Amino acid sequence: MADVSKEELLHIAKLANLNIKDEELDNYLNNLRDILNFANVVNNVNTEGLEETIGENDRCNVFRKDEVKVFEDNKALLQNAKEQERNMFKIPKVIQ
C-alpha cells in the first residue's frame, strides 16, 4: 500500500513547478495512491542480476561534427513569445 501524505504530494508538486488547489488535493492524492498501488506490482518481479534498460537501442554516444548552423528566421522563433524586446525574450525581473 503506497501511503503518500498530503505533505509529500505538495512537496512533489512544488518540485514539478505545479500548484495544487485545496479542492483538488484529495483527488490528486487518491489518484496518485491508486496508481502507485498498481505500479507496485513491479516490486513482485524477480529482477536479480538484471541490468537496467535505459534507452531502446544499443546506440550510445552518437557523435556529429560540431558545426555552427545559423537559423536565420529569428522572427519565426520569437513569434511565439508572449513578451519580447529587441529580438530577445523578456522575463520578469529576477534580481530585486
Partner 1 sequence: MDITNLTVHELQEKLANHELTSEEITKAYVDRIKEKEADVRAFVTTLCDEALEKSKEIDDKRKKGEMKSSLAGIPIGIKDNICTKGIRTTCSSKMLADFISPYNATVTEKLLLEDLIDLGKLNMDEFAMGASTEYSYFKKTSNPWNLKCVPGGSSGGSAAAVAAELVPWALGSDTGGSIRQPASFCGVVGLKPTYGLVSRYGLVAFASSLDQIGPITKDVTDAAILLNIIAGHDEKDTTSSDIPKKDYTKALKNDVKGLKIGIPKEYFGEGINEEVKQKLEEAIETYKKLGAEVEEFSLDIANYALATYYIIACAEASSNLGRFDGIRYGYRTENFTNLKELYRNSRSEGFGAEVKRRIILGTYVLSSGYYDAYYKKAQQVRTLVKKEFDKAFEKYDVLLTPTSPTVAFEMGTRAENPLEMYLADICTVSVNIAGLPGISIPCGVNSENMPIGMQLIGNKFEEEKILNAAYTFEQEFRFREKYKPGFEK
Q: Which residue carries 489518484 as its cell?
A: 31
Q: Tell me how far, at minimum, the Cβ of 51 lies from partner 1, in Å.
A: 6
Which residues sit at the interface with partner 1, rule CB under 8 A? 4, 9, 12-13, 15-19, 28, 31-32, 34-36, 38-45, 47, 50-57, 59, 62, 64, 71, 73, 76-77, 79-83, 89, 91-94
Nearest-5° angle of CA 73, CA 74, CA 78? 125
Q: Tell me how far, at minimum, the Cβ of 44 lies from partner 1, in Å.
A: 7
Looking at beta carbons only, is 26 or 89 nearer to partner 1?
89
- Distance in angstroms (rounded) separating the CA atoms of residues 63 and 77: 26
- Distance in angstroms (rounded) separating the CA atoms of residues 1 and 40: 8
